[in-house]
Amino acid sequence: MDRVNATTPAASSSDDPARAAFAALRTPEGEQLLAELRDHDPADELATATRLRRTHPAELVSAALGQARLRQRAVAKFGAEDAYRMFFTPNGVEQATRTSVAAHRAARFAGLDVRSVADLCCGIGGDAIALARAGIPVLAVDRDPLTAEVARANAEALGLGELIEVRCADVTEIDTAPYDAVFVDPARRGGRGRIFDPEAYSPPLSWATAAALKAPRAALKIAPGIPHEAIGPEAEAEWISDGGDVKEAVLWYGEGFAPGAFRATLLPSGAALSAPAPLPAPPVGPVGRYLYEPDGAVIRAHLVADLVERCGGRLVDETIAYITSDEPYSSPYVAGYEITDELPFSMKRLKALLRERQIGVLTVKKRGSAVEPEELRRRMKLSGPGSATVFLTRVAGAPTMLIGHPLG
Ligand SMILES: C[S@@+](CC[C@H](N)C(=O)[O-])C[C@H]1O[C@@H](n2cnc3c(N)ncnc32)[C@H](O)[C@@H]1O
């Protein structure tokens, strides 16, 4: 791999208050403050700040408190062990890939014997860290000087400094030819929040796609809501959920991937479903004894028809991703329910039925209904020892309530 010394831009950290504050955090005094703040209660922040300011400079105390807050937020993505050793910026923690997803992606590259990756738009290093942990040397590039410094600090803090070379530069100026693969995670947030137009990403999706097509292998992280028409035929598209929530989508390019295929991967199990091409529309029919809610990654990858076939079922409505069948079916890709009642939508009827059955705990699921679950629960005035699940949906176009309970 082409090893170039880590570069910092011409301006030094002393010209930039945010970088100066970050540098102060990495001194022994800063490290000690951060260690002290590890388990602090955010509710006591004012009292903690007042106490610490008696013995430490005020700017250092506020930088440490800010970093402690970011670390607490980062635990959900990185786990406590890593999060309390790492550093973050507010944007960095927001945009970083969670460990589970980054590790899955890194494992796919490692499985194809990829030996070096240019991580273009590395942020605070979420993906670079996972790639390095999979044994792959990484060039990690970000044009924001503070973010690049934070990525470098993270590589060092996690003992990965030998495998991650951080460069502060514009990715459009990087020669990726020496690398086995490129990974691009464009910034999808700007000053005004989330950016929906892929050409407004930084760098634009068209640039990222061109960079991906030039490399022997590549991965592009994209928003899970990307329209399928925007995905070129050269890419394998993968939607990834973790714990049932869709986290992101990734486009894979190059040898070892399946151009044109759509794939859904469920973490933490890693169960993966895929189809080489768009599937024909599944059958639609009456609600049977069982109802299945596919994982969001399966829905996004348009693979519901595959599950319909596997369970010998049908959809309850051609526009709704609820599958129904007459036989029980078990699969990691669906949550199954036994349906006891099917009624036209009516708050009044639902309330009467729940009262009669003494339902005190109601889980509300909906697809194709504008009703707010919280509002519905409030209006039901639930009481009693029983529990139930209600699906607010459309059946053959008609607003319908399906009542039941989870299988197993
Ligand atoms: C979505 S974040 C990357 C998150 C990263 N994958 C992680 O897991 O931590 C995108 C990053 O791209 C950087 N960026 C945007 N445009 C860039 C460009 N033209 N050159 C280099 N970096 C850029 C931003 O500064 C931001 O840190």
pLDDT, the chain, mean: 94
What is the CB < 6 Å shell around ligand 1?
95-97, 121-127, 141-144, 147, 170-172, 185, 187, 202-203
- The atom number, within ligand 1, closest to the CA of 119 reads 6
Average pLDDT over residues 3-8: 40
Residues 77-95 have pLDDT tens digits of 999 999 999 999 999 999 9
Take atom 15 of ligand 1 and give the residue whose Cα is closest.
202
Selection from 370, 299, 373, 308 nearest residue 316 by Cα? 308
396 CA → ligand 1 middle, Å: 45
C-beta of residue 124 within 8 angstroms of C-beta of residue 88? yes
329 CA → ligand 1 middle, Å: 43
- The atom number, within ligand 1, closest to the CA of 144 reads 25
Selection from 8, 218, 195 nearest residue 120 by Cα? 218
Confidence of residue 277 (pLDDT cuts 50, 70, 90): confident
Rounded-to-integer distance, Cα 238 and Cα 222, Å: 10
Average pLDDT over residues 149-159: 98
b/e code 169-179 from CB counts within 10 Å (16+ = b): bebeebebeeb
Mutate to test the pocket of ligand 1, among 122, 138, 170 (most ligand atoms within 8 A of CB): 122
- The atom number, within ligand 1, closest to the CA of 125 reads 9
The backbone region for 258, taken as left when phi is positive above 0, alpha when psi lies in -120 to 50, beta otherwise, is: beta
195 CA → ligand 1 middle, Å: 14
Q: Which long-range contacts (CB under 8 A, 24 or more apart) does 22-26 make?
A: 22/63, 22/87, 22/146, 22/149, 22/150, 22/153, 23/149, 24/59, 24/60, 24/63, 25/60, 25/63, 25/64, 25/67, 25/87, 26/153
Residues 47-57 have pLDDT tens digits of 999 999 999 99
Q: Read off the amino acid at residue 107.
A: A
95 CA → ligand 1 middle, Å: 8
- The atom number, within ligand 1, closest to the CA of 121 reads 12
Alpha-carbon separation of residue 92 from 64, 98, 250 (angstroms): 16, 12, 19
Specify which residues 406 forms β-bridges with. 337
Q: Return the pLDDT at 41.
A: 86
Element (H, E) at 225: none
Residue 408: Cβ-neighbour burial (10 angstroms; 0-12, 13-18, 19+): exposed
Average pLDDT over residues 146-160: 98
Rounded-to-integer distance, Cα 250 and Cα 183, Å: 10
Return the sign of the alpha-carbon dihedral for residues 37, 42, 43, 45: positive
Residues 289-346 have pLDDT tens digits of 999 999 999 999 999 999 999 999 999 999 999 999 999 999 999 999 999 999 999 9
Q: Is the pLDDT of residue 229 over 90?
A: no
Rounded-to-integer distance, Cα 83 and Cα 95, Å: 15
Rounded-to-integer distance, Cα 99 and Cα 117, Å: 17
Residues 107-123 have pLDDT tens digits of 999 999 999 999 999 99
